[in-house]
Amino acid sequence: MFSGGDYEEVARWLRNFVLAHAKRENLRVEVVVDTDGSREGQSYGIRLRLGRDLRPAPPEPAVELGFPEVAQNRGSLAWCGGLADRVRALAREFSAAGSAPLRSA
């Protein structure tokens, strides 16, 4: 496994990782990774989007992940497993709200 990387590289990895796990619950879910403003170079704000709906839904804060945390732990199966569980739980919230659960095989 791998760890480290610059802010942009880690952001791409995080976006792909979150998208892959969210789509295991609902194929129509998209990922929003906020890297602007005070987060730039420091952290990432993660939300899932299905149409106009977001999870976590505002005014709740986005899932906040620090750049050093992600860069250091993206090579850890235990850490990745925990993040995957969090992402999949967020994606399942869309199904509970009435969206069709288009799950992958």
What is the Cα–Cα distance from 46 to 50, expressed in whole angstroms? 14
Q: pLDDT tens digits, residue range 63-102? A: 999 999 999 999 999 999 999 999 999 999 998 766 554 5
Domain coordinates of the chain in residue numbers? Answer: 7-94
The answer to whether 45 touches 64, Cβ cutoff 8 Å, is: yes
Which DSSP symbol is given to 61? P
Q: pLDDT tens digits, residue range 26-46? A: 999 999 999 999 999 999 999
Q: pLDDT tens digits, residue range 3-30? A: 789 999 999 999 999 999 999 999 999 9
What is the Cα–Cα distance from 44 to 17, expressed in whole angstroms? 13
